[in-house]
Chains A and B, each alone.
Chain A
Amino acid sequence: MRPAPIHPHCMLEPSIDAGQGREAIGLGHVAAPGLDARHGTVLTLEDITVSFDGFKAIDALDLYIGVGELRCIIGPNGAGKTTLMDVITGKTRPTRGKAWFGDTLDLTRMSEVQIAQAGIGRKFQKPTVFEALTVFDNLELAHKTDKSVWACLGARLSDEQRGRIDEVLGTIGLQAARGRAAGSLSHGQKQFLEIGMLLMQDPQLLLLDEPVAGMTDAETEFTAELFKRLAGKHSLMVVEHDMGFVGSIADHVTVLHQGRVLAEGSLQQVQADERVIEVYLGR
């Protein structure tokens, strides 16, 4: 069966209006090969609301993250940062609102696994690695490949894959620890291992929840360099409290407060914002 020919004109420019464009491509179309992000946004959140027994953790939030952007999300405790990540990764379903990955993937209708396979990687606040496995195995499992049961039963590592794992091991500075059990690593090393696993996944969008917590200054600096290198090829969304770190990486900052976007712009802009000062410093 051949698909009906599409007029070349439509293919180049589906529609001016974003909403209609999605309609034309197909709502909730899952797992397209390669991400369709022709409109330049990798993540589109509109009117997202999450309420827990009446309490609104996120309240009518709009957020757009562009392709290749490195976005920092800051905000006081309880601003809804982690809940936001839960919504994007499918762990929590929004009570209301739209969440699009690229132009075609409706995140609210996909399972966590589908979302991960579609190309969103997540790093938890507390580093979670597979403690009983070696560092190498951890990276191997994260590698972007066929992850079905049958594939795993007969999987063998190709030289190319081995090379990729070695490369990432080098990037995160854990070559020496490749054969050690991940559980025996230090806190900072676990953080790097988890970042390494994200790299192996090769996602379009990386969500990083407090990636430099528990790292030394040198490690933090190194991480900042790493993230800046990643941006451009990947899109990153970083939740962080460490303002120094935010200042060293972000070109664009979003401030969340009580589930809403309080301010957006460069770090200097938001730091000068009256409301942000009020929220952070109190009256």
Chain B
Amino acid sequence: MPKALHRLLLCLCLWLPFAAQASDAQDFASASANDRARLLQEWAAQPDPARLGLLGSLQQGRLGPDQPRTLRLNNRLRGLLDNALASQRLLSDDAQVRLQAAQHLQRRAQPTQLGLLERHHAAETDQAVHAALGLALANLQLVAAEPSVRLAAVRLLGESGDPLARTRLQALLEPAVESDEGVRTAARTSLDQVERKLLIGELLGQAFSGLSLGSVLLLAALGLAITFGLLGVINMAHGEMLMLGAYSTYGVQILVQRYAPGALEFYPLLALPVAFAVSAGVGMLLERTVIRHLYGRPLETLLATWGISLILIQAVRLIFGAQNVEVANPGWLSGGVQVLPNLVLPWSRIVIIGFALCVALLTWLLLNRTRLGLNVRAVTQNRNMAACCGVPTGRVDMLAFGLGCGIAGLGGVALSQIGNVGPDLGQSYIIDSFLVVVLGGVGQLAGSLWAAFGLGVANKLLEPQIGAVLGKILILALIILFIQKRPQGLFALKGRVID
């Protein structure tokens, strides 16, 4: 018996620190939905470090760390729960955690938390957290009884760049909502301030998506710059090489899912060599069978490669169906970095920009620092002379063409992570990427780089102002006008005119 008593005591002692929590958990479990809401609001107003664990569990639908998932919460309760959790976190020692909590409260704080926020705002020593709490407080103070308090809050909100501040301030412009004239005027001024900040965020966001569009264009145009610029072959099936790359990604994803589900996180990396190989292989096959016979007849090449693209599209349509296929982002490519309140940079796009630049660098190195590159450049400049010097021109043509197509395949992998994958995918990029080559100057990698990013950013910046369609037309007009001034493109080498 004493032994059993001992054990009981021991257990009690161990459990003691959790007693408060345990009772809260029981309260919560036994309460009705309305009471639960009241309870959560109370906790939000009166945070207690001991409750942190409980709230964390509740968020996962458990009553305690070891309890089964039995709890079902509606959206309202979820919101309140998040709020309460944020309140608890304000007590944390880590400034970073407090900052996140304060940012959460800026959006979600309830009037009952006013006292809490005031206390913490006064006591906070970290500058960033202090400012964030000030804004959260200001949101609540907008409905304070004192006009002077409201005025101060409005002015404070003017300094934030949060889209929510805009809606809140907009509401205040109505005389029915805000009776005080002075506060309304201040709200007007603050609103202008907020909108200016938001505009910067929006513009940056558009410029960023322009950059990521540009990086896809760059990957497409790099291949074109090689096949068109260096070999003088215009490849209308180049867009289909992008498409093949994207479908290779899809295929790799399916295979990995089936045979190595553990490695699913990294399937895009696996897809890179596969897509390169598929596109380059198809490209080399085409070069050997069709394009080889058409060197020096660019217009004919254009038509023949268009025929090839029709066949490739139809083949993919028959194999994979006409619908778009599902290509998922792995975990490390989803989500993004919050730069401004209204500007999130998605990881997938950041990675793609970096990737495109890497590929551009590698291509440059390959063309300028290797034997193959030397051969390609030699054949470009004087095919007969190169052949006399023992350069195997046929092989060089094939490899260069394969390289161009392979790079497009890599572009397809990138594209599959940010857009839809369907049989018509290549068609929507081909015209833009040709314009990149025209604008950048034939055979100029640096020109392609600037033209791709320039065109991408211009596209995306113009889109919201005047609409996607007019933007495209305007850009086309601009390119035509630009070519009036610089017929050889941005980066053309000057030289003796050769006949």
Contacts and interface: CB of A to CB of B under 8 A. Distances in A.
B496 A92 contact: yes
Chain B residues touching A, majority SS = loop
A57 B496 contact: yes
B496 A82 contact: yes
A92 B499 contact: no
Contacts of A128: 499
Contact of B499 (A53, A57, A124): A124
A271 interface: no
B494 A126 contact: no
Contacts of A86: 496-497
Interface size class of A (residues with CB under 8 A): 10 to 19
Interface residues of B, number: 6
B50 interface: no
Nearest to B495: A52
Interface in B469-497: 493-497
Contacts of A161: none
Contacts of B496: 52, 57, 82-83, 86, 92
A52 B494 contact: yes
B497 A53 contact: no
A125 B493 CA distance: 23
A82 B499 CA distance: 11
Nearest to A52: B494
B1 to A, nearest CB: 102
A233 interface: no
A38 interface: no
A243 B497 CA distance: 26
Interface in A55-82: 57, 82
A126 B497 contact: no
A126 B495 contact: no
A96 interface: no
A124 B496 CA distance: 14
A52 B488 CA distance: 14
A91 interface: yes
Interface string A2-40: 000000000000000000000000000000000000000
B5 to A, nearest CB: 97
Contacts of A124: 499
A277 B368 CA distance: 39
A2 B494 CA distance: 48
A158 to B, nearest CB: 33
Contacts of B493: 52-53
A53 B491 CA distance: 12
Contacts of B497: 86, 91-92
A57 B494 CA distance: 11
B410 to A, nearest CB: 32
Contacts of A57: 496
A125 B494 contact: no
B297 to A, nearest CB: 15
A123 to B, nearest CB: 12
A76 B495 CA distance: 19
17 contacts: A52-B493, A52-B494, A52-B495, A52-B496, A53-B493, A53-B494, A57-B496, A82-B496, A83-B496, A86-B496, A91-B497, A92-B496, A92-B497, A124-B499, A125-B499, A126-B499, A128-B499
Closest 3 A-B residue pairs measured CB to CB? A52-B494, A52-B495, A91-B497
Given A53-B494, A91-B497, A125-B499, 12 more contacts: A52-B494, A52-B495, A53-B493, A57-B496, A82-B496, A83-B496, A86-B496, A86-B497, A92-B497, A124-B499, A126-B499, A128-B499
